[in-house]
Amino acid sequence: MKINQVAVIGTGTMGNGIVHSFALAGFKVSMIGVSDQLNQEALLKIQANLSRQVKKNLISENGMQTALNNISAFTAIKDGTQQADLIVEAVPEDEDVKRKVFQQIDQYAPVHAIIASNTSSLPITRIGAFTNRSENVVGMHFMNPVPLMPLVEVIRGFNTSDTTNEAIKEITIQLGKTPVEVNDYPGFVANRILMPMINEAIYALFEGVAGVQQIDAVMKLGMAHPMGPLQLADFIGLDVCNSILNVLYQDFKNPKYAPCPLLQKMAQSGNLGVKSGKGFYDYSSGGKDLVVASYFLK
């Protein structure tokens, strides 16, 4: 299947990274956000990230401008998906939100269009059932930061067709990334393994085993992780980590996936990590200082 026009729904960290990657690879991309303001903020973020690639001699100035010219912004799913061959959903990890989005895609997108979800934990079979064309629905789980990370988990739902599955693997390669096909279980492979590790690191902090910097240092120096689990949680977003763990807990009914009370409190407080300026570290001034408030540990 030939894919020329791509639509991406969602302008957050993952959404704008996915737009960036498709546009840089030469695809025409419709970026669909909930408002003109959020679309403009996403475009500025994409431009800034492309500029960094230019400075590092990864792409040319012409390549950056071509990528930016490949992007069109919309605020309605109806308008942004009517000509799309591939639609990638990258909205928050909330099943009700995703259901509404997929029902609109099903209503307005061309019959031939592939519909991919960037969900990090929800089963693709369940998402496919939100539409009347589950054979066209597939999981396309990008890693953060999207422009830099080579992995895309490809998740085939119960009704996903061979044509859809192969087309997604092919386009992933066209993006310069590596598709890895995994089975359709909550959390797939990446987050089923990663989130319990992050949660256990937060429990170690919560129970006073060690401090933030010490926990991260052990995992970096002792396990050769490029980033400690608490810093990684900040990078992913503590609200996202909490949501993924809740999905795993609800679907598997296993207490090992229950989010740590400290994680829940931080997600509720609005201290979400890099995107809010504060999490386990302080990013408000461009630094990375410890900011876990004492009341979180009570």
Quick one: three-class SS letters along 191-242?
A: HHHHHHHHHHHHHHHHCCCCCHHHHHHHHHHHHCCCCCHHHHHHHHCHHHHH
pLDDT band at 292 (very low <50, low <70, confident <90, very high): very low
Main-chain dihedrals φ then ψ at residue 264, nearest 5 degrees: -60, -45
Domain formed by 191-297, architecture: Orthogonal Bundle (1.10)
The pLDDT score that the predictor gives to residue 286 is 65
Average pLDDT over residues 25-46: 97
**pTM score, whole prediction:** 0.89
The architecture of the domain spanning 5-182 is: 3-Layer(aba) Sandwich (3.40)
Q: Let me know if the fold of 5-182 is the same as that of 191-297.
A: no
Considering 39, 89, 93, 153, which one is annotated as catalytic? 153
Backbone angles phi, psi at 228, to 5 degrees: -65, 160
Is 80 exceeded by the pLDDT of residue 290? no
Cα angle 121-124-130, degrees, rounded to a multiple of 5: 115
120 part of the active site = yes
pLDDT tens by residue, 90-128: 999 999 999 999 999 999 999 999 999 999 999 999 999
> Where are the domains positioned within the chain?
5-182, 191-297
- Residue 105 has what pLDDT? 98
Among residues 120, 136, 242, 271, the one annotated as catalytic is 120
Can 141 be counted among the known catalytic residues? yes
Catalytic residue among 30, 134, 136, 191: 191
β strands within 75-126, DSSP E: 86-89, 114-117
Q: Specify whether 93 is catalytic.
A: no
Q: Exactly one of 121, 134, 141, 243 is catalytic; which is it?
A: 141
The residues, any chain, with a CB within 8 Å of residue 28's CB and separated by 6 or more, are 4, 5, 6, 70, 72
Q: Residue 298: its pLDDT value, please?
A: 36
